[in-house]
Structure 1
């Protein structure tokens, strides 16, 4: 056992989350899927420690002052690649190609880069105890890490069907996707079951992106989710109808309005069948589960103020405890443009919140200040030949414009959301770089809309004029 002290520690490794227990696992799972108030969900967050480290380096951190602690065995990387390029059958993405911070067009931070910048990268280290009053962290091996300032960047962990006591959910080849080890297991399963049957449980980000990449790998894919349409926390019924038809045309079978209630296994322990709550049974060689995630905050329970499932922060990501900051998935922060607080799970917010916290820390040390975090919600996805972006808020009335025929080779359409006579959100499938920039501008400006019919008529040109 050893003790080390640092001026700053970024805690970005995973920790064990509490396991839910219930006598009615299916009902609890349905409840969670239907009432989660998180502003969308995607693979994000713990890799954001690379962005915080980068900003510390930009701010002139001195050698030996900063440590990055992670449970993973590899340096921080861009997690979105795991549900896309990492699983491609040809030309797959591999490290070191997607280490942070290439996702935002910045410098690639290889393991040796941290040492060159005087940052201690402490990998394969799980923190099991945090004492914020004593400013200390304790690892699973008993090592103690002292700090003056702590940034909590622990991210989220996937919800597992075993957490809900779903029968047979511990069978082999029932897989999840959060870290690179998960992706490696999925790659091996795809190779071993080439041409076989895959069932994807969940119709959100992970469900849609993995269903696409599994089809690209020539598996027979069925996607199952309980909601009336895919991606219900963002998509309208009209938008979802496009993607569901497009996926169906690509060979993905879609089953809505039910959940996986149990699994049967072969004698070797590998999954064989998926039982659905509606009574149907699906053959499966591989099952991928993507039913959401929960923030890793258990280390800090009772020590920091919480709100909406996360650690409550101000606009600089300071928590209720002095010298402790929380960023990314775990932070519930003021969303200035909407006048409320939210917890956002997405790559874009993860990057920007990490940089904001570090800027605030360094500015305060010099007796200065930074501007409050003024975040515009942004979400995106890529699958098959599709690529969409969304900015703002998806509340109020919505209208669809453009060509949303899923049979066309290059569909290009969008949507606006209008509340109180103002455009508050904008979406575009197949948009150009300039068009996507226009979407961001219109969502930020929140201009008045003459009428919904006029928005349909003008389409993307409405945003381009703002």
Structure 2
């Protein structure tokens, strides 16, 4: 098959690829210089839409509505935008071999692509129950959600399993967001997770109690904690029928959706590039240990300047910003200029039902809860501060206004000192607003 050469190649066609393409166009790009190679069949889109608006029963999102870069308030980049900019978007093409020494990528179909500069933006893949040999985990109607193709399968099954029973395996981000959209689709939802409360990597027990209470009491979602799915039974058609739990309980299920985490897709580059903390090690410009190779988004382990630590972050906000930083660095280096180091403030958010929270900073140290988390309140608004070495290092807020969310971001960035935790709890959100 033919060999093609590009000055710049982005491998991976997710959020990071779209934001990198926009930054290349902004910085100045000649037609034919840049290629994006993606195993997906569509141009880069805002992945968070899949666990939210895509699965809504009404007012749902569909492409081209959520192509990048609408997620950050930017202009939408439909497929024709890439054509107009002379950017080659090579879809439905999986790269199966990467030879960084010879600057060559090979696709599953045998096509080879040569590059001068490579940006690795391969993202993550979902962790599957079949990876652990869970009995019956390959049954029909057991779903995962990572790509638009997965979301389309769920939309189809909603039609055939109307008012059916849905079991969500996992109590993290995806589990909570999917629990909400499944309930909105009139499914009878049960959530199962091994931890003592939902979102344990971020939530405190006090924060989690509100969301679990809301899901259970307000939305009728059953929550089973402290156990895991150990097997699945199927009917004559090979469709999932029941979920067997470790504690001996058996749940009826027409649909199972699994959200138990992701793994960075670094396999192609193993042994060729330095790794750290499960990702590809980069500097503050997303340069890897191999010249002319950059890594961004989920796969990059980078210096988190604010904490003087190497971190890997799986979040759309970092995917967008790291992609832009890498392209700025590439262009600056070509022009003999310098740019500022990446100075990222961790940011996470979620929306489910009419709830919406944001978190900034680091969730380490002591915690101070504030606000109104009464389920019966008309408008509950509450949050938490994390305090380490006498300083606020993290802040969480449910139901914040744009101004309030900006204030908690500011607090997490500035890390003001705090002497009295009781006073801080009393002052609550007002503390952030006055800083």
User: Which of the five TM-score ranges fits, normalised by the shorter chain?
Assistant: over 0.9
What's the CA shift for 1:47?
A: 2.4
Instruction: State which of 140, 147, 151 in structure 2 corresponds to 1:172.
Output: 140
Cα distance per residue 1:120-148 (max 9 Å; x no partner): 11111110000000001001111110000
Equivalent in the alignment of 1:50? 18
Equivalent in the alignment of 2:156? 188
Instruction: State which of 78, 85, 95 in structure 2 corresponds to 1:110.
Output: 78
Equivalent in the alignment of 2:347? 378
Task: State the TM-score, normalizing by the size of structure 2.
Answer: 0.99
Task: Please say if residues 8 and 66 of structure 1, whose CA atoms lie closer than 8 Å, have aligned partners that are also in contact.
Answer: yes
Instruction: State which of 138, 146, 149 in structure 1 corresponds to 2:117.
Output: 149
More off after superposition, 145-154 vs 456-465:
456-465
Q: Tell me, what secondary structure is at the counterpart of 1:275?
A: strand
The answer to whether residue 207 in structure 2 is matched with residue 239 in structure 1 is yes
What's the CA shift for 1:108?
A: 0.8
In 2: Cα distance, 1:390 partner to 1:328 partner:
19
In 1: Cα distance, 2:289 partner to 2:158 partner:
46
Q: Tell me, what secondary structure is at the counterpart of 1:423?
A: strand
In 1: Cα distance, 2:310 partner to 2:160 partner:
46
The answer to whether residue 289 in structure 2 is matched with residue 320 in structure 1 is yes
Task: Please say if residues 38 and 94 of structure 2, whose CA atoms lie closer than 8 Å, have aligned partners that are also in contact.
Answer: yes
Q: Tell me, what secondary structure is at the counterpart of 1:134?
A: coil
Equivalent in the alignment of 1:271? 240
Q: Tell me, what secondary structure is at the counterpart of 1:230?
A: coil
Greater RCO structure (CA 8 Å; 6+ sep)? 1
Equivalent in the alignment of 1:367? 336
Q: Tell me, what secondary structure is at the counterpart of 1:58?
A: helix
What's the CA shift for 1:408?
A: 2.1
In 2: Cα distance, 1:298 partner to 1:449 partner:
44
Cα distance per residue 1:99-125 (max 9 Å; x no partner): 010001111111111010110111111
Which blocks of at least 5 consecutive residues in structure 1 are unaligned? 14-45
What's the CA shift for 1:91?
A: 1.1
Which blocks of at least 5 consecutive residues in structure 2 are unaligned? none
In 2: Cα distance, 1:328 partner to 1:283 partner:
38
What's the CA shift for 1:312?
A: 0.3
Task: Please say if residues 171 and 269 of structure 1, whose CA atoms lie closer than 8 Å, have aligned partners that are also in contact.
Answer: yes
Equivalent in the alignment of 1:439? 408
Q: Tell me, what secondary structure is at the counterpart of 1:264?
A: strand
The answer to whether residue 426 in structure 2 is matched with residue 453 in structure 1 is no
What's the CA shift for 1:454?
A: 1.1
Cα distance per residue 1:401-424 (max 9 Å; x no partner): 111112323211111000010000
Equivalent in the alignment of 2:167? 199
Task: Please say if residues 12 and 47 of structure 1, whose CA atoms lie closer than 8 Å, have aligned partners that are also in contact.
Answer: no
Q: Tell me, what secondary structure is at the counterpart of 1:147?
A: strand
In 2: Cα distance, 1:243 partner to 1:407 partner:
13
Equivalent in the alignment of 2:375? 406
Equivalent in the alignment of 2:362? 393
Equivalent in the alignment of 1:27? none
Task: Please say if residues 15 and 316 of structure 2, whose CA atoms lie closer than 8 Å, have aligned partners that are also in contact.
Answer: no
In 1: Cα distance, 2:278 partner to 2:376 partner:
41
The answer to whether residue 2 in structure 2 is matched with residue 2 in structure 1 is yes
More off after superposition, 170-179 vs 453-462:
453-462
Instruction: State which of 224, 228, 232 in structure 2 corresponds to 1:255.
Output: 224
In 2: Cα distance, 1:358 partner to 1:268 partner:
50
Q: Tell me, what secondary structure is at the counterpart of 2:182?
A: helix
What's the CA shift for 1:192?
A: 1.1
In 1: Cα distance, 2:411 partner to 2:434 partner:
9
Cα distance per residue 1:246-274 (max 9 Å; x no partner): 00011110000010000000001100000
Q: Name segments (4+ residues, structure 1) moved above 6 Å.
A: none
What's the CA shift for 1:59?
A: 0.4
In 2: Cα distance, 1:406 partner to 1:150 partner:
50
What's the CA shift for 1:277?
A: 0.5
In 2: Cα distance, 1:406 partner to 1:381 partner:
18
Cα distance per residue 1:11-63 (max 9 Å; x no partner): 115xxxxxxxxxxxxxxxxxxxxxxxxxxxxxxxx322000000000000111
